[in-house]
Amino acid sequence: MKLALILIAVLVGIWLFKTGRRVDPPDDKSRGPAPGHGPGGTGKPAPNLALEMVRCQHCDLHLPKAESIEGQRGVYCSEAHRKQAER
């Protein structure tokens, strides 16, 4: 009897989990522009959001160029690495 109750409870739990996760598909009016298209659905490709990456000359860490520190011998991830490499 206990096994039957546990089995029923598990099945009800699975059913509730599955029905609670359903999402109705949005209608066409609420959708944004198609993927790969710019703002407003103009048909132009979306702007490139990739960042230029550089490698620290001291530890080989890759980081965005905007966050790097330039030194005489290259770019570094921190001021400490720049100082160590340029001694």
* Average confidence (pLDDT) over 13-18: 89
Structure tokens at 62: 């890759």
**pLDDT for position 33:** 54
33 or 55, higher pLDDT? 55
**pLDDT for position 84:** 92
- pLDDT tens-digit map of 34-82: 555 555 555 666 677 788 999 999 999 999 999 999 999 999 999 999 9
**pLDDT for position 29:** 53
